[in-house]
Structure 1
Protein backbone atom coordinates (compact mmCIF):
# COMPACT_ATOMS: atom_id res chain seq x y z
CA UNK A 1 0.00 0.00 0.00
CA UNK A 2 1.08 3.55 -0.80
CA UNK A 3 0.61 6.05 2.06
CA UNK A 4 0.99 9.66 0.88
CA UNK A 5 0.92 12.32 3.61
CA UNK A 6 -0.07 15.80 2.42
CA UNK A 7 1.11 18.50 4.84
CA UNK A 8 -1.01 21.21 3.17
CA UNK A 9 -0.17 24.51 4.93
CA UNK A 10 -0.63 23.12 8.43
CA UNK A 11 1.58 24.66 11.16
CA UNK A 12 3.75 21.56 11.50
CA UNK A 13 7.47 20.84 11.27
CA UNK A 14 7.86 19.38 7.76
CA UNK A 15 11.38 18.11 8.40
CA UNK A 16 10.37 16.30 11.60
CA UNK A 17 7.43 14.66 9.85
CA UNK A 18 9.64 13.72 6.89
CA UNK A 19 12.13 12.13 9.29
CA UNK A 20 9.27 10.14 10.82
CA UNK A 21 8.13 9.07 7.34
CA UNK A 22 11.65 7.96 6.46
CA UNK A 23 12.04 6.07 9.75
CA UNK A 24 8.73 4.22 9.58
CA UNK A 25 9.18 3.50 5.87
CA UNK A 26 12.29 1.46 6.70
CA UNK A 27 10.27 -0.73 9.07
CA UNK A 28 7.28 -1.57 6.90
CA UNK A 29 6.45 -3.14 3.56
CA UNK A 30 4.21 -0.15 2.78
CA UNK A 31 5.48 2.73 0.67
CA UNK A 32 5.40 6.04 2.57
CA UNK A 33 5.82 9.53 1.13
CA UNK A 34 5.24 13.14 2.20
CA UNK A 35 4.07 16.22 0.28
CA UNK A 36 5.22 19.48 1.92
CA UNK A 37 4.77 23.04 0.76
CA UNK A 38 6.92 23.98 -2.24
CA UNK A 39 9.25 26.11 -0.12
CA UNK A 40 10.08 23.08 2.04
CA UNK A 41 10.64 20.51 -0.73
CA UNK A 42 14.44 20.55 -0.69
CA UNK A 43 14.74 20.39 3.11
CA UNK A 44 12.25 17.52 3.24
CA UNK A 45 13.95 15.60 0.42
CA UNK A 46 17.28 15.86 2.26
CA UNK A 47 15.85 13.69 5.06
CA UNK A 48 15.67 10.74 2.69
CA UNK A 49 11.88 10.58 2.81
CA UNK A 50 10.11 10.07 -0.50
CA UNK A 51 9.04 13.63 -1.33
CA UNK A 52 6.11 14.82 -3.43
CA UNK A 53 4.93 18.24 -4.55
CA UNK A 54 1.44 19.43 -3.71
CA UNK A 55 0.89 20.95 -7.16
CA UNK A 56 2.52 21.78 -10.48
CA UNK A 57 1.23 24.15 -13.13
CA UNK A 58 0.76 23.34 -16.84
CA UNK A 59 3.68 25.56 -17.88
CA UNK A 60 7.18 25.41 -19.32
CA UNK A 61 10.23 27.55 -18.55
CA UNK A 62 9.44 31.19 -19.25
CA UNK A 63 7.43 34.18 -18.05
CA UNK A 64 5.31 32.52 -15.36
CA UNK A 65 5.66 34.55 -12.17
CA UNK A 66 4.01 32.92 -9.17
CA UNK A 67 3.53 29.54 -10.83
CA UNK A 68 5.02 26.16 -9.89
CA UNK A 69 7.27 24.66 -12.56
CA UNK A 70 7.46 20.86 -12.63
CA UNK A 71 11.20 20.92 -13.28
CA UNK A 72 11.77 23.06 -10.18
CA UNK A 73 9.79 20.59 -8.08
CA UNK A 74 11.94 17.75 -9.44
CA UNK A 75 15.17 19.73 -8.95
CA UNK A 76 14.22 20.23 -5.29
CA UNK A 77 14.19 16.46 -4.82
CA UNK A 78 10.56 15.50 -5.35
CA UNK A 79 9.69 12.32 -7.22
CA UNK A 80 5.99 13.01 -7.75
CA UNK A 81 3.22 15.55 -7.41
CA UNK A 82 -0.43 15.86 -6.56
CA UNK A 83 -2.66 17.51 -9.15
CA UNK A 84 -6.20 18.89 -8.76
CA UNK A 85 -6.56 18.48 -5.00
CA UNK A 86 -9.99 19.61 -3.78
CA UNK A 87 -8.28 22.66 -2.30
CA UNK A 88 -6.50 23.44 -5.59
CA UNK A 89 -9.02 22.57 -8.29
CA UNK A 90 -8.17 22.86 -11.99
CA UNK A 91 -10.01 22.76 -15.31
CA UNK A 92 -9.69 19.50 -17.23
CA UNK A 93 -7.37 21.05 -19.82
CA UNK A 94 -5.09 22.34 -17.07
CA UNK A 95 -5.06 18.94 -15.36
CA UNK A 96 -3.98 17.42 -18.67
CA UNK A 97 -1.30 20.08 -19.08
CA UNK A 98 -0.03 19.55 -15.53
CA UNK A 99 0.25 15.79 -16.11
CA UNK A 100 2.27 16.42 -19.28
CA UNK A 101 4.49 18.91 -17.42
CA UNK A 102 5.08 16.36 -14.65
CA UNK A 103 5.86 13.66 -17.20
CA UNK A 104 8.38 15.99 -18.81
CA UNK A 105 10.12 16.35 -15.43
CA UNK A 106 9.91 12.61 -14.65
CA UNK A 107 7.50 13.18 -11.76
CA UNK A 108 4.88 10.61 -10.82
CA UNK A 109 1.35 11.97 -10.73
CA UNK A 110 -1.70 11.49 -8.53
CA UNK A 111 -4.77 13.34 -9.80
CA UNK A 112 -7.44 13.93 -7.16
CA UNK A 113 -11.15 13.87 -7.98
CA UNK A 114 -14.42 14.13 -6.06
CA UNK A 115 -16.46 11.21 -7.39
CA UNK A 116 -16.35 8.17 -9.71
CA UNK A 117 -17.33 10.14 -12.83
CA UNK A 118 -14.46 12.57 -12.28
CA UNK A 119 -12.14 9.67 -11.50
CA UNK A 120 -12.96 8.18 -14.90
CA UNK A 121 -12.26 11.47 -16.65
CA UNK A 122 -8.99 11.90 -14.77
CA UNK A 123 -7.87 8.33 -15.45
CA UNK A 124 -8.42 8.90 -19.17
CA UNK A 125 -5.65 11.53 -19.03
CA UNK A 126 -3.23 8.74 -18.05
CA UNK A 127 -1.69 9.89 -14.77
CA UNK A 128 0.11 7.30 -12.68
CA UNK A 129 -2.73 7.28 -10.15
CA UNK A 130 -5.99 8.92 -9.22
CA UNK A 131 -7.34 9.58 -5.72
CA UNK A 132 -11.03 9.71 -4.88
CA UNK A 133 -11.71 12.34 -2.20
CA UNK A 134 -15.24 13.54 -1.49
CA UNK A 135 -14.51 17.11 -0.30
CA UNK A 136 -17.14 17.05 2.43
CA UNK A 137 -15.16 14.33 4.25
CA UNK A 138 -11.72 15.92 4.04
CA UNK A 139 -10.35 16.63 7.51
CA UNK A 140 -13.36 15.12 9.29
CA UNK A 141 -11.74 11.93 10.54
CA UNK A 142 -14.57 9.97 8.91
CA UNK A 143 -13.07 7.95 6.04
CA UNK A 144 -14.94 7.65 2.75
CA UNK A 145 -14.45 3.89 2.98
CA UNK A 146 -16.74 3.99 6.01
CA UNK A 147 -19.08 6.85 5.12
CA UNK A 148 -19.81 5.69 1.56
CA UNK A 149 -17.82 2.66 0.41
CA UNK A 150 -19.77 2.55 -2.86
CA UNK A 151 -17.96 5.72 -3.96
CA UNK A 152 -14.62 3.97 -3.57
CA UNK A 153 -15.69 0.78 -5.35
CA UNK A 154 -17.31 2.77 -8.15
CA UNK A 155 -14.18 4.91 -8.49
CA UNK A 156 -12.03 1.80 -8.87
CA UNK A 157 -14.43 0.45 -11.51
CA UNK A 158 -14.48 3.79 -13.35
CA UNK A 159 -10.69 3.93 -13.53
CA UNK A 160 -10.42 0.31 -14.68
CA UNK A 161 -12.94 0.95 -17.46
CA UNK A 162 -10.83 3.62 -19.12
CA UNK A 163 -7.25 2.80 -18.02
CA UNK A 164 -6.65 -0.37 -16.04
CA UNK A 165 -2.99 0.55 -15.43
CA UNK A 166 -3.90 3.69 -13.45
CA UNK A 167 -3.77 3.05 -9.70
CA UNK A 168 -6.58 4.27 -7.45
CA UNK A 169 -5.97 5.80 -4.03
CA UNK A 170 -8.52 6.57 -1.34
CA UNK A 171 -8.50 9.92 0.45
CA UNK A 172 -10.62 12.01 2.82
CA UNK A 173 -10.83 11.21 6.50
CA UNK A 174 -8.11 8.55 6.60
CA UNK A 175 -6.54 8.46 10.07
CA UNK A 176 -6.06 4.86 11.30
CA UNK A 177 -4.64 1.55 10.19
CA UNK A 178 -8.17 0.17 9.97
CA UNK A 179 -8.98 2.91 7.45
CA UNK A 180 -6.00 1.87 5.33
CA UNK A 181 -7.04 -1.79 5.44
CA UNK A 182 -10.62 -0.89 4.50
CA UNK A 183 -9.38 1.16 1.56
CA UNK A 184 -7.40 -1.81 0.31
CA UNK A 185 -10.35 -4.16 0.70
CA UNK A 186 -12.38 -1.84 -1.53
CA UNK A 187 -9.83 -2.23 -4.31
CA UNK A 188 -7.50 0.75 -3.88
CA UNK A 189 -3.72 0.58 -3.86
CA UNK A 190 -3.06 3.31 -1.32
CA UNK A 191 -4.32 6.25 0.69
CA UNK A 192 -3.92 10.01 0.68
CA UNK A 193 -4.19 11.73 4.06
CA UNK A 194 -3.19 14.92 5.81
CA UNK A 195 -4.39 15.93 9.27
CA UNK A 196 -4.10 12.43 10.73
CA UNK A 197 -0.31 12.83 10.59
CA UNK A 198 0.31 16.56 10.06
CA UNK A 199 -1.72 17.47 13.18
CA UNK A 200 -0.63 14.50 15.29
CA UNK A 201 1.23 15.15 18.56
CA UNK A 202 3.46 12.20 17.66
CA UNK A 203 3.73 11.78 13.86
CA UNK A 204 5.85 8.63 14.20
CA UNK A 205 3.19 6.93 16.33
CA UNK A 206 0.47 8.06 13.89
CA UNK A 207 2.39 6.60 10.96
CA UNK A 208 3.10 3.37 12.83
CA UNK A 209 -0.61 3.00 13.55
CA UNK A 210 -1.42 3.50 9.87
CA UNK A 211 0.87 0.73 8.66
CA UNK A 212 0.66 -1.67 11.61
CA UNK A 213 -2.16 -3.84 10.13
CA UNK A 214 -0.48 -4.14 6.72
Structure 2
Protein backbone atom coordinates (compact mmCIF):
# COMPACT_ATOMS: atom_id res chain seq x y z
CA UNK A 1 0.00 0.00 0.00
CA UNK A 2 2.31 2.71 -1.28
CA UNK A 3 1.51 6.26 -0.24
CA UNK A 4 0.49 8.16 -3.35
CA UNK A 5 -0.19 11.83 -4.02
CA UNK A 6 -2.47 13.38 -2.98
CA UNK A 7 -2.99 11.93 0.49
CA UNK A 8 -4.51 12.75 3.87
CA UNK A 9 -3.35 11.62 7.30
CA UNK A 10 -5.45 11.67 10.45
CA UNK A 11 -3.11 11.71 13.45
CA UNK A 12 -5.18 11.41 16.65
CA UNK A 13 -2.05 11.13 18.82
CA UNK A 14 -3.34 9.90 22.21
CA UNK A 15 -6.65 11.77 22.23
CA UNK A 16 -8.64 8.76 21.02
CA UNK A 17 -8.20 5.04 21.62
CA UNK A 18 -10.21 1.81 21.70
CA UNK A 19 -13.69 1.66 20.23
CA UNK A 20 -13.94 5.37 19.46
CA UNK A 21 -10.71 5.25 17.49
CA UNK A 22 -11.73 2.06 15.70
CA UNK A 23 -14.99 3.67 14.56
CA UNK A 24 -13.01 6.55 13.02
CA UNK A 25 -10.61 4.07 11.41
CA UNK A 26 -13.53 2.28 9.77
CA UNK A 27 -14.84 5.62 8.50
CA UNK A 28 -11.41 6.47 7.08
CA UNK A 29 -11.27 3.04 5.48
CA UNK A 30 -14.62 3.63 3.79
CA UNK A 31 -13.33 6.90 2.37
CA UNK A 32 -10.14 5.23 1.14
CA UNK A 33 -12.20 2.55 -0.61
CA UNK A 34 -14.50 5.16 -2.15
CA UNK A 35 -11.56 7.27 -3.39
CA UNK A 36 -8.89 4.79 -4.56
CA UNK A 37 -6.92 7.53 -6.34
CA UNK A 38 -6.08 9.04 -2.94
CA UNK A 39 -4.14 7.59 -0.02
CA UNK A 40 -5.66 7.81 3.45
CA UNK A 41 -3.39 7.27 6.45
CA UNK A 42 -4.23 7.04 10.14
CA UNK A 43 -2.00 6.77 13.19
CA UNK A 44 -2.95 5.18 16.49
CA UNK A 45 -1.48 4.42 19.91
CA UNK A 46 0.64 1.26 19.67
CA UNK A 47 -1.86 -1.01 21.44
CA UNK A 48 -4.58 -0.11 18.90
CA UNK A 49 -2.56 -0.63 15.71
CA UNK A 50 -3.18 -4.36 15.27
CA UNK A 51 -6.93 -4.02 15.89
CA UNK A 52 -7.21 -1.25 13.32
CA UNK A 53 -5.14 -3.16 10.76
CA UNK A 54 -7.30 -6.26 11.23
CA UNK A 55 -10.51 -4.29 10.73
CA UNK A 56 -9.57 -2.20 7.69
CA UNK A 57 -8.49 -3.01 4.13
CA UNK A 58 -7.75 0.27 2.34
CA UNK A 59 -6.33 2.42 5.13
CA UNK A 60 -2.56 2.80 5.49
CA UNK A 61 -2.09 2.03 9.18
CA UNK A 62 0.63 4.28 10.56
CA UNK A 63 2.67 4.20 13.77
CA UNK A 64 3.50 7.40 15.64
CA UNK A 65 7.15 6.45 16.23
CA UNK A 66 9.64 3.63 15.64
CA UNK A 67 13.15 2.96 16.89
CA UNK A 68 15.78 1.80 14.43
CA UNK A 69 16.66 -1.33 16.39
CA UNK A 70 16.94 -5.01 15.54
CA UNK A 71 15.26 -7.79 17.57
CA UNK A 72 17.09 -8.32 20.86
CA UNK A 73 17.94 -5.90 23.63
CA UNK A 74 15.91 -2.69 23.77
CA UNK A 75 13.63 -2.58 26.79
CA UNK A 76 10.84 -0.04 26.18
CA UNK A 77 11.84 0.65 22.59
CA UNK A 78 9.46 0.33 19.62
CA UNK A 79 10.59 -2.64 17.53
CA UNK A 80 10.10 -2.21 13.74
CA UNK A 81 9.49 -5.92 13.14
CA UNK A 82 6.72 -5.89 15.76
CA UNK A 83 5.04 -2.94 14.05
CA UNK A 84 5.21 -4.60 10.65
CA UNK A 85 3.71 -7.81 11.99
CA UNK A 86 0.90 -5.75 13.55
CA UNK A 87 -0.03 -4.42 10.09
CA UNK A 88 1.80 -1.09 10.15
CA UNK A 89 2.94 0.11 6.73
CA UNK A 90 4.03 3.68 7.54
CA UNK A 91 5.55 5.48 10.50
CA UNK A 92 6.16 9.03 11.72
CA UNK A 93 9.69 9.86 12.81
CA UNK A 94 11.15 12.91 14.56
CA UNK A 95 7.83 14.52 15.48
CA UNK A 96 8.18 17.57 17.74
CA UNK A 97 6.63 15.52 20.54
CA UNK A 98 9.10 12.65 20.01
CA UNK A 99 12.26 14.18 18.57
CA UNK A 100 15.14 12.01 17.36
CA UNK A 101 18.84 12.60 16.84
CA UNK A 102 20.18 12.52 13.29
CA UNK A 103 21.86 9.16 13.90
CA UNK A 104 18.62 7.72 15.28
CA UNK A 105 16.83 8.93 12.15
CA UNK A 106 19.39 7.26 9.91
CA UNK A 107 18.86 3.92 11.66
CA UNK A 108 15.05 4.18 11.70
CA UNK A 109 14.85 5.09 8.00
CA UNK A 110 17.18 2.18 7.22
CA UNK A 111 14.90 -0.23 9.10
CA UNK A 112 11.86 1.18 7.34
CA UNK A 113 13.38 0.53 3.92
CA UNK A 114 14.47 -2.95 5.00
CA UNK A 115 10.98 -3.98 6.17
CA UNK A 116 8.76 -2.02 3.80
CA UNK A 117 7.53 0.48 6.37
CA UNK A 118 7.24 3.90 4.70
CA UNK A 119 8.85 6.71 6.67
CA UNK A 120 7.24 10.11 7.27
CA UNK A 121 9.95 12.30 8.76
CA UNK A 122 9.17 15.64 10.40
CA UNK A 123 11.21 18.82 9.91
CA UNK A 124 10.45 22.14 11.62
CA UNK A 125 12.54 24.43 9.42
CA UNK A 126 13.69 24.86 5.83
CA UNK A 127 17.26 23.97 6.84
CA UNK A 128 16.19 20.79 8.63
CA UNK A 129 13.99 19.80 5.69
CA UNK A 130 16.97 20.06 3.34
CA UNK A 131 19.15 17.94 5.65
CA UNK A 132 16.54 15.23 6.16
CA UNK A 133 15.73 15.07 2.44
CA UNK A 134 19.26 13.75 1.90
CA UNK A 135 18.26 10.64 3.88
CA UNK A 136 15.56 9.92 1.28
CA UNK A 137 12.50 9.31 3.48
CA UNK A 138 9.27 8.43 1.67
CA UNK A 139 7.50 11.54 2.98
CA UNK A 140 8.86 14.73 4.52
CA UNK A 141 6.53 16.61 6.86
CA UNK A 142 7.35 20.32 6.84
CA UNK A 143 5.79 21.66 10.02
CA UNK A 144 7.08 24.55 12.17
CA UNK A 145 6.87 23.31 15.76
CA UNK A 146 5.42 26.58 17.04
CA UNK A 147 2.32 26.19 14.83
CA UNK A 148 1.33 22.68 15.94
CA UNK A 149 -2.14 22.69 17.44
CA UNK A 150 -2.57 26.45 17.09
CA UNK A 151 -5.04 26.50 14.21
CA UNK A 152 -2.60 28.78 12.38
CA UNK A 153 -1.25 27.30 9.15
CA UNK A 154 2.18 27.88 7.61
CA UNK A 155 2.37 30.99 5.42
CA UNK A 156 2.54 30.77 1.63
CA UNK A 157 6.25 31.59 1.50
CA UNK A 158 7.19 28.75 3.87
CA UNK A 159 5.02 26.26 2.00
CA UNK A 160 6.44 27.19 -1.40
CA UNK A 161 10.07 27.26 -0.26
CA UNK A 162 9.93 23.93 1.57
CA UNK A 163 8.06 22.24 -1.29
CA UNK A 164 10.69 23.47 -3.76
CA UNK A 165 13.65 22.64 -1.50
CA UNK A 166 12.60 19.04 -0.92
CA UNK A 167 11.67 18.36 -4.55
CA UNK A 168 14.92 19.98 -5.66
CA UNK A 169 16.89 17.42 -3.68
CA UNK A 170 14.73 14.41 -4.54
CA UNK A 171 11.52 14.76 -6.58
CA UNK A 172 10.42 11.29 -5.42
CA UNK A 173 9.98 12.44 -1.82
CA UNK A 174 6.37 13.36 -1.07
CA UNK A 175 5.88 16.61 0.84
CA UNK A 176 3.36 16.79 3.68
CA UNK A 177 2.27 20.25 4.88
CA UNK A 178 0.10 20.03 7.98
CA UNK A 179 0.83 22.81 10.49
CA UNK A 180 -2.30 24.20 12.12
CA UNK A 181 -4.83 22.44 9.87
CA UNK A 182 -8.28 22.94 11.37
CA UNK A 183 -10.76 22.95 8.48
CA UNK A 184 -11.51 21.53 5.06
CA UNK A 185 -10.56 24.93 3.65
CA UNK A 186 -7.09 24.60 5.17
CA UNK A 187 -6.76 21.14 3.62
CA UNK A 188 -7.78 22.43 0.20
CA UNK A 189 -5.26 25.29 0.39
CA UNK A 190 -2.34 23.03 1.30
CA UNK A 191 -2.94 20.60 -1.57
CA UNK A 192 -3.81 23.37 -4.01
CA UNK A 193 -0.49 25.07 -3.22
CA UNK A 194 1.44 21.98 -4.26
CA UNK A 195 1.78 19.78 -1.18
CA UNK A 196 1.42 16.07 -1.88
CA UNK A 197 -0.50 15.60 1.31
CA UNK A 198 -1.77 17.15 4.51
CA UNK A 199 -3.20 15.98 7.81
CA UNK A 200 -4.90 16.95 11.01
CA UNK A 201 -5.16 16.19 14.73
CA UNK A 202 -7.13 18.62 16.90
CA UNK A 203 -9.33 19.87 14.06
CA UNK A 204 -10.84 16.37 14.04
CA UNK A 205 -10.45 15.22 17.66
CA UNK A 206 -12.08 18.39 19.02
CA UNK A 207 -14.85 18.59 16.41
CA UNK A 208 -18.48 18.11 17.42
CA UNK A 209 -18.67 15.31 14.85
CA UNK A 210 -15.16 13.88 14.22
CA UNK A 211 -16.35 11.45 11.54
CA UNK A 212 -18.06 14.19 9.54
CA UNK A 213 -15.04 16.48 9.86
CA UNK A 214 -12.72 13.68 8.73
CA UNK A 215 -14.89 13.12 5.67
CA UNK A 216 -14.98 16.84 4.84
CA UNK A 217 -11.19 17.01 4.96
CA UNK A 218 -10.64 13.94 2.81
CA UNK A 219 -13.19 15.25 0.30
CA UNK A 220 -11.29 18.55 0.17
CA UNK A 221 -8.21 16.61 -0.95
CA UNK A 222 -10.35 14.90 -3.54
CA UNK A 223 -11.70 18.25 -4.75
CA UNK A 224 -8.19 19.44 -5.64
CA UNK A 225 -7.49 16.11 -7.34
CA UNK A 226 -10.64 16.38 -9.45
CA UNK A 227 -9.88 19.99 -10.42
CA UNK A 228 -6.39 18.98 -11.57
CA UNK A 229 -7.78 16.02 -13.49
CA UNK A 230 -10.28 18.23 -15.31
CA UNK A 231 -7.63 20.84 -16.06
CA UNK A 232 -5.38 18.20 -17.65
CA UNK A 233 -8.07 16.92 -20.01
TM-score, structure 1 length as denominator?
0.93
CA deviations over 1:128-159 (Å, ceiling 9, x no partner): 11011111111112222xxx121111111111
Q: Are 2:184 and 1:177 equivalent residues in the alignment?
A: yes
Q: Are 2:52 and 1:44 equivalent residues in the alignment?
A: yes
- 2:228 matched to which residue of 1? none
Structure 1 pair 169/100, CA: closer, same or farther in 2 (3 Å)? same
* Distance in 1 (alpha carbons) for counterparts of 2:194 and 2:16: 33
Equivalenced residue count is 211
Q: Are 2:117 and 1:107 equivalent residues in the alignment?
A: yes
Q: Which runs of 5+ in 1 are unaligned?
A: none
8 A contact 2:143–2:177 mirrored in 1: yes
Q: Which runs of 5+ in 2 are unaligned?
A: 1-5, 224-233
- 1:203 matched to which residue of 2? 210
CA deviations over 1:142-182 (Å, ceiling 9, x no partner): 222xxx12111111111122212111010121122221221
* Distance in 2 (alpha carbons) for counterparts of 1:11 and 1:74: 22
TM-score, structure 2 length as denominator?
0.86
8 A contact 1:22–1:47 mirrored in 2: no
- Provide the secondary structure at the position in 2 that maps to 1:26: helix
Give the superposed CA RMSD.
1.4
- Provide the secondary structure at the position in 1 that maps to 2:62: strand
- 1:118 matched to which residue of 2? 128
Which aligned segments of 4 or more residues in structure 1 are displaced greater than 3 angstroms? Answer: none
Match of 1:140 among 144, 150, 173: 150
Q: Are 2:38 and 1:33 equivalent residues in the alignment?
A: no
